[in-house]
Structure 1
Amino acid sequence: MELDNTLGFILGRVSRKVHYRLDEIFKANDITIEQWVGLRMIHEAGPLCQRELADRMEKNQNTIKALADRLEKKGLIERAIDRRDKRNLTLTLTDRGEELLESLSPLEEKVNETIETILTPKQTELCKELLLQLERNL
């Protein structure tokens, strides 16, 4: 089978195209996609300790520490001692982080809506189901 016709290669190409579209939006606001994902996860499930964020993002603790360092330096998150476990630092969004989420979320949603309009609603749901099945089993 030719490389261009393998599922992994096709998924990678599609992923890069989505990544490039989102990257344009976030670069203009001095944030990376990885930082955006961290902010969204802290917002949606937070406050989170760094270990929990590492698990959710499927990254190692050192990568998350560096990510948190950058987000804190930009004034988007705050770290505090976790009341449940003093060995952990809890990450929460600052007002500035919340404002950034509020301003960029509609732009991210527009990219996702554009992607989903390429397929019918039924195809979109099937595509999500299949991708989640792959994710769970890889």
Structure 2
Amino acid sequence: MHHIDDSLGFILNHAGRRLTLLLALRYQPYDITTEQWSVLNRLYEQDGISQKELSRRAEKDQTNITRILDQLERKGLAERKANEADRRSFLAFITPKGRELNETLLPIENEVIRLVQDGMTEEEVALLRRLLKKLTHAAEEAIQEMGEQS
């Protein structure tokens, strides 16, 4: 008999939700959600990108990116400016306040990851990383094949 607790999809989803919750609890004092931080961190990595590119990098749809950028702008962490090359789009930028907050949050994220990796060897962590990337790649290929069929 197959138990859902043994399903790889369930295990991955559960682990992801637990990590997100742990990070959310650590970020609560800074009044930022993990979803907002993922977008802020992408802007920290590369500033002045289009919302479309930000959407791709943050793996969020355009509607969610717009909503998250609205929230980040209200908090003074990001801003949008007209794209001189394409008047129909905007470029997103991190503000100095957003950069400072991200530099505060990065070590917290690193600490959460260290905490959950406690008890794992470097080899196990490296293997887990490789296997998760392999699984993600296989899922992406399957999604593309389905897109080509429809």
Interval of TM-score (by shorter of Structure 1 and Structure 2) = over 0.9
- Once residues 118 and 48 of structure 1 are traced to their aligned partners in structure 2, the CA distance between those partners, rounded to angstroms, is 39
**1:128 aligned counterpart, secondary structure:** helix
- Once residues 134 and 122 of structure 2 are traced to their aligned partners in structure 1, the CA distance between those partners, rounded to angstroms, is 18
- Once residues 137 and 105 of structure 1 are traced to their aligned partners in structure 2, the CA distance between those partners, rounded to angstroms, is 29
Shift of 1:78: 1.2
Larger Rg: 2
- Once residues 15 and 119 of structure 2 are traced to their aligned partners in structure 1, the CA distance between those partners, rounded to angstroms, is 13
Shift of 1:87: 2.0
The RMSD of aligned alpha carbons is: 1.2
- Once residues 86 and 34 of structure 2 are traced to their aligned partners in structure 1, the CA distance between those partners, rounded to angstroms, is 29
**Partner residue, 1:36:** 37
TM-score by length of 2: 0.86
Q: Indicate yes or no: 2:115 matched with 1:136.
A: no
**2:57 aligned counterpart, secondary structure:** helix
**Partner residue, 2:59:** 58
**Partner residue, 1:45:** 46
Runs of 4+ in 1 over 6 A off after TM superposition: none
Shift of 1:100: 0.5
Percent identity reads 35
Amino acid at match of 2:48: P
**Structure 2 runs not aligned, ≥5 long:** 140-150
**1:28 aligned counterpart, secondary structure:** helix
**Structure 1 runs not aligned, ≥5 long:** none
- Once residues 13 and 78 of structure 1 are traced to their aligned partners in structure 2, the CA distance between those partners, rounded to angstroms, is 34
Shift of 1:104: 1.6
